Structure 1
Amino acid sequence: MKGNGRTIIIQPGMISPLAEWKALFEELSRHARVIIYNRAGCGKSDKGITTRNRKENAKDLNSLIKKLSITSPVILGHSYGGLILQQFALEYPNVASGFILVDSTSFDAYKVDEVEIDGEDGNSTEAWIEKCKTYSGLSKKDLQVEMAEWINELKELLPNSSHKEVEEFMSNPSMFESLSEELEYDLLSRETNQYKPFPDTFTIVIGRDPKVSITEMIDCEGLHKSEAEDIENIWQNLISNQTKLSSNTKYILAEDSGHSVHLEKPEVIKRAVDSILNSTKVNG
């Protein structure tokens, strides 16, 4: 937590160390009080005894707000963090003064897995659930070896001062236990997608650039162009549906950015935050 003034709460994505957000966190804290935290099971946050899913994560977010006596925060959620934010909005409709969904996962995210992939799809939700279950049983040392490529990629993006934190974050068996539960409950099951009216809270939806995303899927995941295009079309349709959550929603395209908007185009998020702070008032 840093800064003074209106409160902005950042809910990172599913596998996202706080170090990824440090530069944007510092920038935003120049004009507001900014809070960022690891959800249960990640970083230094205990997993707890309940099965992890978006509803439990939304409860935790509300508990944080009550514990710190925060009034009318602006809440920002990226990827899976955006799904938690959407659940929070349904469960606690009168708490926040603004929402920012950054290339957010949708309630109907299972539709992405319906695209037929040639050969074994190592990035399907089912494949990731199995990976996470395996990783949750490994030691920290073994996980550092298993996740070495991902850890090194993050190290290349982040300053040396963050490298130790990244290693600790990515080699935490508890996180992968949480992930396996969240993936199964929130991204695989269709029965849990029960809709309530979304509040008329000012919401900004930020979507990735489809051209960049398709190229990344081809280059990094080895997908055929047609497969990547099919997946991206579904994702973009889901993002479009988010812009219809309420009549008080604005859409922003993060041009030249893939999924990691906070790293590739943080200025887009900064402008969205400024827009919400300038157009909303604190309730009460």
Structure 2
Amino acid sequence: MNEQIRFIKVRGAAMEVWEMGEGAPVVILTGMNSPIWEWHPVVQALSRNHRVILFHRPGLGKSEIGDHTRRTGAIAEELNELLPLLGIHEPIMLIGHSYGGLCAQHFARWYPSKIKALLLVDSTSVNLHRLDDLDLPVMDADNDAAWLETCLSYSEKTREELKVVIPPGWDPGLPTPLLEKLSDFQLNPLMYAAMHSEVTWWKEDAWIIKNGPRFPVIPLVVIARDKKSIIRQEDGLPEWEKRIFEALWEKLMYEQTRLMDGSRFIVAEGSGHAVHLDRPDVVVEAFHHLTKKVQENEGAGGSCPIH
């Protein structure tokens, strides 16, 4: 199975790109503070019949951060510039997780001719500001301001200093070489500088996306995490707060299906936010469903709703 890691200069900065497989192109946009290597189980499955492409956004992994503010629009532009550099001149299948899902929605609206299907995996909603309206005293302490303070502090530390303040990551069951990459990923000060910019702008970006060009007529599937699984977690948060938060989160996920008539909504049972690690089978099955709908559309010579 063809696999390669290479560095391609996009908008003046080298970008770390991971590719596996051959065939029609599939691009996966990862979440905030999420390494591309986490997607290994999904990539292995999809690359049997597709060319799967992931990249670390500027500042993440070994990608240079460049001189640009980190916003969803910048990421959409970078993807648009990256595709022809990879020899891709046809519409892509696009998968977006968490913040990467918000970026995927930006790309779909601004570059509709470049995309033929979209899979949103527990994606950040364009209405994420509604979560701020909940009165949740304990959870509200972990707000954007707290994130920004932490990101700024971490961005000013060295790798050795970050080793002291960042606990070892959990073992998602990936091959040992990838586990080593995951550990190293968290110790990059530039990533926290990039996150600081992403968090600073994500609500304004969400408003821009929501009020931007119309969503294209393409097959769409939305996967949401299992709120029951989140509520059961022993994380020190009050259960009543988690119930309120997760009810609204699931509602926001479901509302994303309104982007396209006939889109499919799936709850990944037993999964937390990292659906691609907790239930990679759900992601793969949803992708195969989208592939089938794309083939039907191409056979019919146009677009049609999915069911």
Same fold (TM over 0.5): yes
Name the structure 2 match of 1:166: 182
Name the structure 1 match of 2:261: 247
Distance 2:206 2:221 in 1: 26
Amino acid in the other structure paired with 2:44: E
2:251 to 222, 237, 245: 237
Name the structure 1 match of 2:85: 67
* 2:223 counterpart of 1:228: no
Aligned partners of 1:7 and 1:34 also within 8 Å: yes
1:86-131 Cα offsets, whole Å, 9 max, x none, are 0111111111111000010011212223322335744222211111
Query: Where do residues 205-284 of structure 1 align in structure 2 (5 Å cutoff)?
Result: 205-216=222-233, 219-220=234-235, 222-281=236-295
Distance 1:63 1:135 in 2: 30
Aligned partners of 1:125 and 1:188 also within 8 Å: no
Number of equivalent positions: 278
Gaps spanning 5+ residues in structure 2: where?
1-18, 303-307
Query: Where do residues 17-96 of structure 1 align in structure 2 (5 Å cutoff)?
Result: 17-70=35-88, 71-96=90-115
Name the structure 2 match of 1:144: 163
1:114-157 Cα offsets, whole Å, 9 max, x none, are 32233574422221111101111010111122112xx331x354
Distance 2:73 2:277 in 1: 27
Aligned partners of 2:71 and 2:202 also within 8 Å: yes
Aligned partners of 1:144 and 1:167 also within 8 Å: no
- 3-state SS in 1 of match to 2:109: helix
1:200 to 217, 227, 244: 217
1:43-102 Cα offsets, whole Å, 9 max, x none, are 011111111011111111111122223212101011111000001111111111110000
Amino acid in the other structure paired with 1:247: D
Aligned partners of 1:110 and 1:189 also within 8 Å: no
Distance 2:279 2:131 in 1: 24
Relative distance call for 1:143 and 1:122 in structure 2 (3 A) is farther
- 1:191 deviation in Å? 5.5
Amino acid in the other structure paired with 2:101: G
Aligned partners of 1:122 and 1:128 also within 8 Å: no
- 1:230 deviation in Å? 1.4
Amino acid in the other structure paired with 1:24: V
Aligned partners of 2:93 and 2:118 also within 8 Å: yes
Amino acid in the other structure paired with 1:274: H
1:144-193 Cα offsets, whole Å, 9 max, x none, are 22112xx331x354332223211221011111011011111004777645
Distance 1:190 1:87 in 2: 9
Q: Which moved more, 1:123-132 or 1:260-269?
A: 123-132
Relative distance call for 1:211 and 1:120 in structure 2 (3 A) is closer
Q: Which moved more, 1:193-202 or 1:265-274?
A: 193-202
Aligned partners of 2:76 and 2:104 also within 8 Å: yes
Amino acid in the other structure paired with 2:230: S
Amino acid in the other structure paired with 2:289: S
Distance 1:51 1:99 in 2: 25
Query: Looking at both structures, which has the greater relative contact order when contacts are Cα pairs under 8 Å and sequence separation is at least 6?
Result: 1
Amino acid in the other structure paired with 1:277: T
Query: Where do residues 8-23 of structure 1 align in structure 2 (5 Å cutoff)?
Result: 8-23=26-41
Q: RMSD in angstroms over aligned alpha carbons? A: 2.0
- 1:33 deviation in Å? 0.9
Relative distance call for 1:67 and 1:157 in structure 2 (3 A) is same
1:182 to 194, 198, 223: 198
Distance 1:107 1:267 in 2: 26
Aligned partners of 1:83 and 1:106 also within 8 Å: yes
Q: Which moved more, 1:44-53 or 1:63-72?
A: 63-72
Gaps spanning 5+ residues in structure 1: where?
none
Q: Which moved more, 1:81-90 or 1:13-22?
A: 13-22
Give the TM-score, by structure 2 length: 0.85
Relative distance call for 1:75 and 1:228 in structure 2 (3 A) is same
- 1:252 deviation in Å? 1.4
Distance 1:176 1:92 in 2: 28
- 3-state SS in 2 of match to 1:97: strand
Q: Which has the higher strand share?
A: 2
The percent identity for this pair of structures is 34
Distance 1:270 1:65 in 2: 23
